[in-house]
Homo-oligomer: A and B are copies of this chain.
Amino acid sequence: MARPVDDETIATAENVFREYLRDRGLKYTYERQVLLQAVMRHDGHFEAEELLLRLRQQGLRVAKATIYRTLPLLVNCGIVKQVQLSNKQTHYEHTYGQDPHDHMICRRCGRIIEFDSEDVMRLRTMIAARHSFYALSHRLAITGLCEACVKSCPVALPPLQLQPAAASRRGRP
């Protein structure tokens, strides 16, 4: 899904970030550099906590607060995108040098399927124009059932999402 990033791409991203910071009188600190690199090297989705752990494992110490303060910067300068995969924590993915894509999320097994955003982009442009809106980005998540889940449970419970209450009564698949 996410393509591995080469050092060159990271270097370019670094320049973008640095410039973004400089433009607003912010500083390119060691921690921000560490975070940028960690983010760029992280394939797939991640949350703040995950990033923290990953860094710890590499022996890099960055305060949790710093992560929470840096992620929005990376989002604002377009290197990272927020994606909403659950209703819990915020998930991120770096998009720099990646093909734009959106997500389908299976309500039963949680599987995430990525799909190319080309058509969505086109539609977004059209809609934005129609409302004189200047679109900068979008988030699209389609929820439903993945192929496997539809097959494994062809009849029962057609459309719903498993309910806590319900689950206790009938148990899980």
Question: Which residues in A have some Cβ–Cβ distance to B below 8 Å?
Answer: 9, 12-13, 15-16, 20, 24-26, 72-73, 75-79, 82, 84, 87, 90, 95-98, 100, 104, 106-107, 113, 115, 119-120, 123-124, 126-128, 130-147, 150, 157, 159-169
Contact = CB atoms under 8 A, between A and B. Distances in A.
A131 B107 contact: no
Q: Which 5 A-B pairs have the closest CB atoms?
A: A136-B144, A78-B161, A135-B144, A132-B147, A97-B165
B146 A133 contact: yes
A76 B143 CA distance: 12
Contacts of A134: 144-147, 150, 159
Contacts of A82: 87
B163 A76 contact: yes
Given A78-B167, A127-B142, A169-B25, A133 B159 contact: no
